Amino acid sequence: MPTRAIRRPGRFGVVLIAAAAAWLLAAGCQAPTDAAATAASPEQASPQASRTKDRIMLTIVYDNHPLKQGLETAWGFGCVVQGLEKTILFDTGGNGRLLLANMAALDLSPETIDAVVLSHRHGDHVGGLDEFLAANAEVAVYVPAAFPDRIKQTVRQSGARLVETNDATNVCARAWTTPVLGRGLKEQALALEATDGLVVVTGCAHPGVVELAEAARAHAGRPVRAVLGGFHMMCASRRGILDVVEGLRRLGVQQAGPCHCSGDRTRKVMQEEFGDGYLETGVGARLEFPLTPAD
């Protein structure tokens, strides 16, 4: 069975456990669990399948929810995107050793990554960055311009190329960061252009998952067909979750894959609401979206 203990984060991953527990109690929320989603399994494929260039494949390499045996879980998120002209790592989780171990178990070499996109500055999303860059610094790293200087300096000192973002920024053809949102904590998502709409990947969605998806739709002028990642809805009521589902449907969303900080209630309600469009997530999940080859 996968290891479920919360791992000690890397250089940037200082986890304030006592403060988090106090916040959860004050908000009347349950602490995070490792319960896996129970919907039907998504399409499964090997990493080599993405090389046919007729699909985008996302592999969750870091998450606090187990799915595939032989992988470790810890609080945080990380996802590898294949099938485009560049292979992208979206967020690095909180522990670099665990990130690289899971990638190796999934036959994903850090040397194959061309770009790293970081959603926001929290340690459970950037804590694995320094160890990843020690394994591969031949990458561009996309961060909101408001990121702390210490993280930017780590990127520069590694030899990687730092790209600071505010507006939507191209990573490669058919992949770009959304505009950076948030009043205090700044966050961006990753938008991917699949054949029949956008796929939006969120880290924690602190500004709101609907808001990030809407920013992607407004920039591209295309409907959003799928949203997955952390939705930051652990404390949401059923009514609040249904409001989010309604907001996503207005944007054209047909598939949803809540994970990381989304909460067990959110997974349950979205499974009920999206039915066959519910994406089962957890560390090791591989999700495919059609991609018409470019002319």
The CA distance from 164 to 166, in Å, is 7
Say how far residue 58 (Cα) sits from the centre of its chain: 10
pLDDT at 173 over 50: yes
Averaged pLDDT, 122-133:
98
Percent of the chain clearing pLDDT 90 (strictly above): 80
Which tens digit of pLDDT belongs to each residue from 27-56? 334 434 333 332 333 344 444 444 446 999
Which residue would you say has higher pLDDT here, 132 or 50?
A: 132
Contact yes or no for 78/60 (Cβ under 8 A): yes
Q: What is the mean pLDDT of residues 90-104?
A: 98
pLDDT at 292: 78
Provide, rounded to the nearest whole percent, the portion of the chain with pLDDT above 70: 81
Residue 294 is predicted with a pLDDT of 60
Rounded Cα gap, residues 272 and 84, in angstroms: 32
| Mean pLDDT for the stretch of residues 201-213 | 98
pLDDT reported for residue 48: 44
Amino acid at 224: V
Query: pLDDT tens digits, residue range 245-295?
Result: 999 999 999 999 999 999 999 999 999 999 999 999 999 999 999 997 664
- Supply the mean pLDDT for the chain: 86
Residue 193 has pLDDT above 60, yes or no: yes
User: What is the per-residue pLDDT across 227-251, written as a single tens digit (0 to 9) for each?
Assistant: 999 999 999 999 999 999 999 999 9
Task: Report the pLDDT value the prediction gives residue 71, as an integer from 0 to 100.
Answer: 98
Of 114, 125, 172, the closest CA to residue 148 belongs to 125
What crossing angle do the helices spanning 209-220 and 238-250 adopt, rounded to 10°?
0
**pTM for this prediction:** 0.84
* Mean pLDDT of the 111-116 span: 98
Q: Are strands 161-165 and 55-62 parallel, antiparallel or unpaired?
A: unpaired
**In this structure, what token pair is assigned to residue 28?**
């009347």
Structural domains of the chain in order of their starting residue, each with its CATH number: 48-290 (3.60.15.10)
- Asked if 154 contacts 141 with a C-beta cutoff of 8 angstroms, the reply is no
The residue-averaged pLDDT of 161-182 equals: 98
Residue 21 has pLDDT above 60, yes or no: no
Q: Following DSSP, what letter does each residue of the chain receive, concatenated? A: ----SPPPP-TT----HHHHHHHHHHHT-PPP--PPP-SPPPP---GGGGGGSSEEEEEEEE-SSB-STT----SS-EEEEESSSS-EEE---S-HHHHHHHHHHTT--GGG--EEE---S-HHHHTTHHHHHHH---SEEEEETTS-HHHHHHHHHHTPEEEEESS-EEEETTEEEPPPB-SSS-B--EEEEETTEEEEEESS-TT-HHHHHHHHHHHHTS-EEEEEEE---TT--HHHHHHHHHHHHHTT--EEEEEGGG-HHHHHHHHHHHGGGBPP-SBT-EEEEE-PPP-
Q: Alpha-carbon dihedral of residues 189, 229, 256, 191, nearest 10 degrees? A: 20
Tokens standing for 131? 């160890």
**pLDDT value at residue 4:** 38
